[in-house]
Structure 1
């Protein structure tokens, strides 16, 4: 790699490099607190030494439960420097779900925000991420960490909602993330590799790859990361102006909320160079409004937790109004493979299909995960050899190389950027004494893209209500997974083998629409 396009095999090496190059540059902003690169590097070393002082060693799991903060970002980098594996847990999960993750991962220590501390059953070391975290960190040794950490060592373990109801820990290496930036620079994918010193806002949930991946990715380019505890449209608008922010990442639902905010009408977005979005395609009307108001480049990103995020992108040139006319269909695609990424469409026997035919999307890239934690059978299904990973998405590649996601083989619902698996919601609701049968589907929602709907068969003689079903769900699972509405029917449609015909249930709600999945 060139001097202007360095490759750092690990995130710790990248942090050390920028601490030497630009020690006084702001690395992290969170509210009134700022941390320069020299301090960021020192804190990562202290955290690594503090974890080792607890008796933890390379490969051990470090869990965090809370929202975005500068402390949680430092914690991830400290774990990385120690050769340990960081597990940020989605704070919106129900206590039962969090308990499963903590037990499954075998985490040796749990860092938790004070507001959540009493909710979580955990018998091991627990440290609150308030001022006591600063006191703990600052009391640790500043001597250099001698643990050898390599590119192929595990870095993250992120839990995805399981299609069978149990979450799976996706294990990602340093290399899965670090190898990508030099490729992007080499091919001028400027919307995915901000320059040294550029400012960017981080507001996506930390427990998602779009969250923790963004936070870690800023280190590879020596950027200034402006951390928002969670998405706040007024704060985002204000900070764009205050800090002359160059880069934004957001889901379409959140973009719509930001553009509709009263402060947006008079906001100065002139510093913004690019906006990337993911989780779902952007409606054309929203794109036109966004381009008109922000006057910046837009790019769509498609990826999975298992691929360390983005592997496909619809580039800015395909979003420009002058290029869209007559090619509106391209806006319904996920885009084209990023450099170093191969896409294959496969039939049921895993044979490659030609352009224009629909099958399962498979990805081959240096981004593909090490595997699922302690899930040998799942790994055998998903990692099919020669570097290929089965995504579980059904799609088609056209003659120009654009990938179109047709549906989700796994039936996943995306609501406001959050992944919801019907099987998990169904499993939670089956315990209700008045439910005889149930199916969960995604239906159109103008604000969130999709909303969760339960289709219920009530037991004879019961007086089950929509409110009762929703209330029961809220006791079992995270609020964003709970049904927003409930239909009652006499029997669920099934095929001869007994499989629920979800397409038949979805059809009335998606009639006349091209389903945006």
Structure 2
């Protein structure tokens, strides 16, 4: 167990200084052939602070990372968190229009882009008034390496934003979620004090960072590693082969969405991979299908499986189903998202914002020091999500049993999770509207054995027109990221609506979810 002072640390600066002194030769980051120790990370982040300051980025200013997962992104995150700047990672799979929106919304002064994304970043920047300067990541790091490390800098208050992650918006535009040092580290001490076994990590452990860094499930590997003084083995993007190779190389802890677990288990290499060092496989964003879990447990008998529930606005995990509640034969609790982690309170509330009786359905609400302070430049959206008492309303409908286990039933806000990616119907509908043959469109999520959920567009044709499904899908892919575009299109004669004219998505979804235990997969 870490020493007592470490338990009280709440900032990247404290952790980096501590591990640079205690484990100077211990690895902090690994990507390909690059290795960065904690002593090197402490100095390099101060050089990056000098680089950012030299290019006009100061406390409270924003800059962006545009590219795949990278050790360089994490070093920039560490530097931003130490000096009080705000980094915004941009999803590399987004369409140019979506990238442009985020860069403009953040008012970023710089974009640091991966080698394969410089031209795209420059093209997007050209369309933004007073657009950010674009730097290729290797060149930026080479320049920083030649600079004198910042000897002193004004450290931010632990509650100041240092990370801005974008979550798809119900109105078509994504929202910037503001996260601070305290958000990122606030629950760690409670877990350690509660003696949670999965939080007992030592110098021999290694965390795999394979999920996209534009999401909390990917970026969150950085704070976990730094808090424990262990390395993150960074994969530029998830691949089954790369993940299996990293496990054989010594990964002891990783987070994957269930679709990624499935792809890994189906890879030919899985049958011969040595999983003996893998302590915990954490999964979330969708429940693990029982048959897949059985296969995984059979292949990884020494690994503890942990289901996580959370969202960007809660800085990730707020409830957890531990290994001891997993039973390959199946049990009631495996249909749940587990119980609140130490330091978090969860209530299921009704429309009056009061807790409903045990076993009744309501909205899942969270009170936690890891809750975001709000959305960037969106006070109304913030007020509608976080009530005056600090409870964050997730938009998920659920039930809590007498033991505190939470069972998610549906999504109040209609969000679709496909392969771990968040997709909002309004955003997809906006992309499809304008197709010359379409009069109306409604987008729903339908069950998918591969992705958990798939995006389906239900469309009504304009009089005298015929709709070609492939053409609609191609039309959408030109305007939004491919993972958001519909996988299938249903042509229907009339949209189901209520008395006020609102489209009844539940009626559209019903035929596809018949027989399912809940309305998400």
Normalising by structure 1, report the TM-score: 0.96
Residue 188 of structure 1 and its aligned partner are, at CA, apart by 2.0
CA distance, structure 2, for counterparts of residue 73 and residue 2 of structure 1: 25
- Aligned equivalents of 1:466, 1:193: Cα separation in 2: 51
Relative to structure 1, is the Cα distance of residues 118 and 5 closer, same or farther in structure 2, using a 3 angstrom cutoff?
Answer: closer
Segments of structure 1 that go 5 or more residues without pairing to the other structure are none
Q: Residue 360 of structure 1: CA displacement?
A: 1.0
**1:56: how far off?**
1.8
* Aligned counterparts of 2:344 and 2:221: Cα–Cα separation in 1: 19
Aligned with residue 258 of structure 1, among 259, 264, 274: 264
Distance (Å, rounded) in 2 between the aligned partners of 1:443 and 1:272: 33
Identify which range, 190-199 or 405-414, moves more after superposition. 190-199
Match of 2:227 in 1: 220
8 Å CA contact 1:81–1:145 kept in 2: the answer is no
Instruction: Give runs of aligned pairs for residues 108-507 of structure 1, distance below 5 A.
Output: 108-120=109-121, 121-122=124-125, 123-130=131-138, 132-192=139-199, 194-242=201-249, 244-295=250-301, 296-321=303-328, 328-507=331-510
Shift, 1:178, TM fit: 1.3
Q: Do residues 95 (structure 1) and 96 (structure 2) align?
A: yes
RMSD of aligned C-alpha atoms? 1.4
Q: Distance in 1 between matches of 2:281 and 2:96?
A: 34
Query: Structure 2: any 5+ residue segments left out of the alignment?
Result: 126-130
Q: 1:436 to 1:192 in 2, by over 3 A?
A: farther
- 2:58 is matched with which residue? 57
Q: Is the Cα contact below 8 Å between 2:207 and 2:221 reproduced in 1?
A: no
3-state DSSP class of the match of 1:172? strand
Larger mean Cα displacement after TM superposition, 140-149 or 346-355: 140-149
State the distance in 1 between where 2:12 and 2:410 align. Answer: 35
Structure 1 residue 105 displacement after superposition: 1.0
- Residues 264-323 of structure 1 deviation map (CA, whole Å, 9 limit, x = unaligned): 1011100111111010111111111111111211010000100000000011110144xx
TM-score, reference length from structure 2: 0.96
2:152, 2:493 → 1: CA distance?
64
Q: 2:6 and 2:297 mapped to 1: Cα distance?
A: 30
Equivalent residue number for residue 27 of structure 2: 26
Structure 1 match to 2:128: none
1:97 Cα deviation from its structure 2 partner: 0.8
The alpha-carbon deviation at position 24 of structure 1 amounts to 0.6
Q: For residues 139-171 of structure 1, give each alpha carbon's deviation from its aligned partner in whole angstroms, at most 9, with x where no partner exists.
A: 222132321222112121111100110111100
* 8 Å CA contact retained: 1:429, 1:473: yes
Change in CA separation of 1:375 and 1:193 when aligned onto 2, cut-off 3 Å: farther
User: Equivalents in 1 of 2:147, 2:355: separation in Å?
Assistant: 54
Q: Are residues 1:104 and 2:93 paired?
A: no
Q: Separation in 2 of the partners of 1:391 and 1:275?
A: 25
Name the CA distance, whole Å, in 2 between partners of 1:375 and 1:4. Answer: 37
> Can you list the C-alpha shifts for 1:120-154, whole angstroms capped at 9, x where unaligned?
32232111113x13312212221323212221121
